[in-house]
Amino acid sequence: MEEVIFVTHNKGKIASAKKRLEEINFKIFEYELEEPRSDDIKYISKYKVMEAYKLVNKPCISLDCGFWIDELHGFPKAFVNFALETIGIDGILKLMEGKENRNCRFTECLSYFDGKDLHQFMGQHEGTLSEKILGEDTNKKWSDLWYIYKPFGYDKTLAEMTDDERAKRVKYKSVDSMREFAKWYREEKK
């Protein structure tokens, strides 16, 4: 099976890939790819995987995620890093003070490019926002949103869960783009 390169600098994404892509011959190339300004994660993921391919000149993947909060008309969407750098999770919680609808979701797009063909795999993870920052720091987190995001069907933030609880949790209303890619890739490369 050919080698697939995952180009990212995000430690949480690397930890997730090691679990979800273990059956695939993949390697990590740690690099921070340029991210275009857009609220379309499919476009961002495509742009980043094309840039990644120019760097490694091998089949590669890139993953981009956004965070949608229903009560805030989707804010921050694909601009989650900008929101966290400017207002932070404290600012997001301040915007949500007194709001009853705390529904939110992570939406993700994994793009695979082999130099010829582009394939994209969408994922989504429903949940709710806590009313305050909860949980412990971990190197497995993708972002600080782990302190305020409670997966659908749970009353704990991801940061409050143990590694075992996160690994074994039932993923209600979830589609994981890495798992979707892995399933497709295994079938494609038989």
Residue by residue, pLDDT tens for the chain (190 residues) are 688 999 888 877 877 888 888 888 888 888 888 888 898 999 999 999 999 999 999 999 999 999 999 999 999 999 998 999 999 999 999 999 999 999 999 999 999 999 999 999 999 999 999 999 999 887 777 789 999 999 999 999 999 998 888 878 877 778 889 999 999 998 887 7
Sketch the domain layout of the chain as residue ranges. Answer: 4-188
Count of residues for the chain? 190
Q: Cα separations (Å) of 89 from 51, 86, 118, 120?
A: 30, 9, 34, 29
Burial class (CB in 10 A: 0-12, 13-18, 19+), 102: middle
DSSP character at residue 70? G
Q: Cα separations (Å) of 137 from 30, 145, 162?
A: 22, 11, 11
Assigned token pair, 1: 């099976």
Between CA 85 and CA 142 the distance in angstroms is 14
Assigned token pair, 151: 């997966």
DSSP character at residue 105? E
Fold of 4-188: Maf protein (3.90.950)
